[in-house]
Structure 1
Amino acid sequence: MTTTATWTVDRAAEELLRREDTRTDGPPLTDSWPELDLDTAYRIQDETLRLRLARGETLIGVKLGLTSRAKQQRMNVDSPLVAWLTDAMILPAGAPVPRERLIHPRAEPEIAFVMGRSLTGPGVTAATAICAVDQVFAGIEIIDSRYRDFRFTLPDVVADNASSGAFVTGALGRDPGELNLALEGCVVESGGTVVHTATGAAVQGHPAEALALAANTLARRGHRIEAGWLVLTGGVTDAVPLPPGGYVTTEFTGLGRITVGG
């Protein structure tokens, strides 16, 4: 059993990447490191990104996690978080879920922004955030966790890059001014059965609020959202398990339909 005294930011980052690379889950860091706080967890997350870039991945954007009450209640946490996206997480449209590198995948619908301009906090509002968006897409994030049974505290999941796994975006890009994103409806089907419905208002009241939150959170860590980046604004509904052979479909009112599985 790892003890509190043996944990460091570097070692925690290496351990989480080792679990990811070997498809091995384990206990939350806080089981043996109860003093782990959010600031340290974000340092672990940033060190994990540094290791990803060192092995050839490219930073392409950010993702938000736990932005909806449904997700917060399921995971027993009470605050959203921000994490990194790299090109290694891209799932091409129509490609099967890469089960060979995932432990226990779950799918959740997302509203995704492609940034037309950079966005630098602090003080970013939803109104200024949405003005920096070039296009809006439907998305599905395939979340995974390096913690057994998805059991974690908020610092644990921050350190684990917000349960990042893979993601796919739809083919239809829309101008944000063409849509009422708070009212953008979403229907989630698993195996042909409707399991969740929601609107974009489930994401912090409006997905642009989540984008502003990301910019302001990153500013406190010395980062900004860059032009050209993709931003996944967080699950519109709770996540749906993706068993082998299973399929999940999300259909948005104005952003189209995506199916993942296999």
Structure 2
Amino acid sequence: MAQIVEAYKHLLQAEKYKKSVAPLTDLYPDITIHDAYRVQMESIDQKVKDGQKIVGKKIGLTSFAMQELLGVDQPDYGHLLDGMDIPNGGSIPMETLFNPKVEAELAFVLKKDLIGPAVTVEDVLEATEYIVPSIEIVDSRITDWKIKLEDTIADNASCGLFTLGGQRFDPNGIDLTKIEMSLYKNGQFMNKGTGADVLGHPATCVAWLANKLTEYDVTLKAGEVILSGALSAAVVAQKGDVFTAEFSQLGKVEVSFG
């Protein structure tokens, strides 16, 4: 437990002074995935005590390319807090971030709890009130993104901020695997992806999360926002950049950096 607290305080120092820090996997070579989630929860628990509210979860490493890059065979997850929510079209001060990157994905907003360990894609769709297009701004307190799986998990799955589109859609009337997304930076096309690029189906990612959380006695709750995983590679953001993600059938979502 002492190591968990040390690791949590190490990351907290980075946040407090806005100065990146060394990877936990360098400082604690024996840190496990379970340890890393405990570090994450120490941080989240403290922020809740300080007045922030958990509003959802994010799923990371849902593409096979990213899993291969980090040498893992499963996604990871982090918590969304109310202070991370940026309005669609909003501007984010760069000085509040470390080394941000932008991803586009589908967000599920739940109308009922999802309790594992046997949640299916059908269960997810039935429990979803609506989906919206979203942008996640991933960020890392670890210097130069030199992370291993344990580092990103401890760092709340490298979650920084998120933005949700304004239009809501019933997921049962749309083939989510065929949703196409194009990401633009300052009007220039960056990359694209489809719903099939995240574990074959975005709802598969949400089902994975609901089932994974049973290991920690946590459930996905009605009203929560679930970011289901990036449909394409993250793109580095710099001061003055404007990012737009356009989704077939779902419209677009946009954010800028000031």
> TM-score under structure 1 normalisation?
0.94
Q: Percent identity?
A: 36
Distance (Å, rounded) in 1 between the aligned partners of 2:79 and 2:138: 13
| Deviation readout 1:39-70 (Å, 9 max, x if unpaired) | 11111111111011011100111110111124
Residues 1:125 and 2:156 are matched in the alignment: no
* Cα displacement (A) at 1:9: 1.0
Q: How many residues align?
A: 257
Gaps of 5+ in 1: 1-5
CA contact (8 A) 2:11 2:21 kept: no
Report the CA distance shift for 1:217/1:98 in structure 2 as closer, same or farther (over 3 A): farther
Q: Does 1:55 align with 2:32?
A: no
The structure 2 residue matched to 1:212, chosen from 193, 204, 207, is 207
Aligned 1:6-45 pairs, distance under 5 A: 8-45=3-40
- Secondary structure at the counterpart of residue 8 of structure 1: helix
Which of 102, 105, 112 matches 1:107?
A: 102
Deviation of 1:75 after TM superposition, in Å, equals: 4.8
Is residue 94–residue 238 contact of structure 2 (8 Å, CA) maintained in 1? no
CA contact (8 A) 1:111 1:232 kept: yes
**Cα offsets for 1:11-49 (capped at 9, x unmatched):** 211221221232211111010211000111111111111
Q: Which amino acid aligns with 1:152?
A: I
Change (3 A) 1:102 1:77: farther
The residue correspondences of 1:49-198 to structure 2 (distance < 5 A) are 49-75=44-70, 77-198=72-193
1:3 matched residue in structure 2: none
> What SS does the corresponding residue of 1:188 show, helix, strand or coil?
strand
Contact 1:143 1:165 in 2 (8 A): yes
Contact 1:59 1:87 in 2 (8 A): yes
What's the offset of the Cα at 1:71? 3.1
Q: Which residue of 1 aligns with 2:221?
A: 226
Whole-angstrom distance in 2 between the partners of 1:7 and 1:103: 27
CA spacing shift, 1:146–1:257, aligned 2, 3 Å: same
Measure the CA separation in 2 of the matches of 1:75 and 1:97. 29
1:7 Cα shift? 6.0
Q: Contact 2:10/2:21 (CA < 8 Å) preserved in 1?
A: no
CA distance in structure 1 between the aligned counterparts of 2:70 and 2:96, rounded to whole angstroms: 23
**What root-mean-square deviation, in Å, do the aligned CA atoms of Structure 1 and Structure 2 show?**
1.5
Per-residue Cα deviation, 1:96-144 (whole angstroms, up to 9, x for no partner): 1232210111110010000011000001111112111010000000010
